[in-house]
Structure 1
């Protein structure tokens, strides 16, 4: 009986190039919205943007609480919906926050919001986690277009993503502490989620921020492994982009440009590129990032 053939090695990805001189404690939530790249430094509560990698970053908002990620609010120029502090808020053009809900205020352990994104139907999704990473303390929340905030999933330790296919039929969500990415079917009308399916389990590092390209490939930053992975829709590891920083945290696709954030937090001796933002040229582009579309813009 012949031995089974070894699985093919994933293709090596392009070499990333560093952007800007700023180094972030916990850079995440990077997206291209219209004419700007937008990202957050979570624990400092800062929302930053720049039109390109050669222009200086500017602070768009500074919150007194951690800021996990944002999406623009359609019909309200300069406004954002945000996963921040213990809940969801709207950030106005003046940088002030108006809270929609703070569902983690009464949690048994101190909590904060983490990664978040809008889906192609205009809803906003945001995950929560315990500051001390208490097992299964986190949740995933959905903000519907009418502004209702609902808990969609529980029992997550460190939620990252989510990321959605272009038709919004499938959602990917990483539970970083468990080293696993799960997929869920999505009801397009209600946003209700189906039962989870294990999509990918990582042997090294933890899946972090994610995005989906136009061919349905899932890209994820791999915290602790200095890499970004691309998975085919069937879960096969297709490509590995090596990052010159051990803690990649967020990714987005701006056309054929892959943007990667990283973090310095937790490193005993951060190197010169820890906390930097990187770009790399990739073959498969990404679609435009989705925005939150309220039924009645403020």
Structure 2
């Protein structure tokens, strides 16, 4: 594996940058700042910057085919219209658990949304992995997580990857045509420093894992073998997405959450949006249908 050195394209200073997506029609990257309660957008080179405040902590953003977006905010899934700046609730999520919030999310090739919830204090195993479809609503798929992260899927759509961050374990599940999960098993146990955070799969089926507190991204083969490492100039690497015309430009979110003032001084780009060029392309971003049933 070869890749260029990551460079910061937008020193946005996100406290907890997360969830980058590549919007091919806009030729832009969208991502969120969970703790800063904001959605950010920029061109691939970091120019044409825009930001929108969110009413609650955002865990992810996903595009719809009408130009709007689905955002996972604390307490529910919301439609976001970037022109009107309006957020409208379409699916309540764990409103009976005010200590929980929505975290990482992903749209698969069948238009199904996979996302997790977690304890905002990062102490209770109250997190759940959900699948949401406009025709069947929201259904719990797995439970018992303190911090859920990184839903991602193999190119053939038959394997779902999901992370138990505090256990430093990435799990793999079999996925059938209906989206039912089975045969949960450990796929990767992270060694060395860092905790597995957001993930992405490339066109060869290799899984790229961002490591919070690990100063790097690791790339694993479909059999779980370490196949490459991308070092970063800041500790908290949170998630990546493949974009650009050839899906080889990788954009990466980072965070300054948890850093001391001394550590922040030594990591002035922490919380910035980074990019690098990979030799293997990624997979195209999937969009949700606009025909959403409440």
- Structure number with larger C-alpha Rg: 1
1:275 alignment partner in structure 2: 271
What CA distance in whole angstroms lies between the structure 2 residues aligned with 1:296 and 1:105? 20
What CA distance in whole angstroms lies between the structure 1 residues aligned with 2:189 and 2:35? 28
Alignment of 1:149-298 (within 5 A): 149-188=138-177, 190-203=178-191, 204-254=193-243, 255-269=247-261, 270=264, 271-295=267-291
Runs of 4+ aligned residues of structure 1 deviating over 4 Å after TM superposition are 294-298
**Paired residues of 2:237 and 2:254 also in contact (CA < 8 A):** yes
1:187 deviates by 1.6
**Paired residues of 2:2 and 2:279 also in contact (CA < 8 A):** no
1:177-201 deviations in Å (ceiling 9; x for gaps):
110000111122x211112110000
Segments of 5+ residues of structure 2 without an aligned counterpart are: none
SS at match of 1:194: strand
1:95 deviates by 2.1
2:56 alignment partner in structure 1: 65
What CA distance in whole angstroms lies between the structure 2 residues aligned with 1:13 and 1:80? 31
1:44 alignment partner in structure 2: 36
Task: Give the aligned CA root-mean-square deviation in angstroms.
Answer: 1.8
1:53 alignment partner in structure 2: 45
TM norm structure 2: 0.91
2:71 alignment partner in structure 1: 82
Q: 1:96 aligns with which of 65, 86, 89?
A: 86
1:13 deviates by 5.1
> Could you say if the C-alpha distance between residues 40 and 147 of structure 1 is closer, same or farther in structure 2, counting changes exceeding 3 Å?
farther
SS at match of 2:270: coil
SS at match of 2:250: strand
What CA distance in whole angstroms lies between the structure 1 residues aligned with 2:282 and 2:134? 24
What CA distance in whole angstroms lies between the structure 1 residues aligned with 2:225 and 2:76? 35
1:261 deviates by 1.0
What CA distance in whole angstroms lies between the structure 1 residues aligned with 2:150 and 2:115? 8
Segments of 5+ residues of structure 1 without an aligned counterpart are: 1-10
> Could you say if the C-alpha distance between residues 144 and 211 of structure 1 is closer, same or farther in structure 2, counting changes exceeding 3 Å?
same
1:138 alignment partner in structure 2: 127
1:110 alignment partner in structure 2: 99
What CA distance in whole angstroms lies between the structure 2 residues aligned with 1:103 and 1:24? 25
**Paired residues of 2:100 and 2:119 also in contact (CA < 8 A):** yes
What CA distance in whole angstroms lies between the structure 1 residues aligned with 2:280 and 2:14? 28
What CA distance in whole angstroms lies between the structure 2 residues aligned with 1:147 and 1:49? 31
**Paired residues of 1:27 and 1:262 also in contact (CA < 8 A):** yes
What CA distance in whole angstroms lies between the structure 2 residues aligned with 1:296 and 1:114? 21
SS at match of 1:83: strand
TM norm structure 1: 0.90
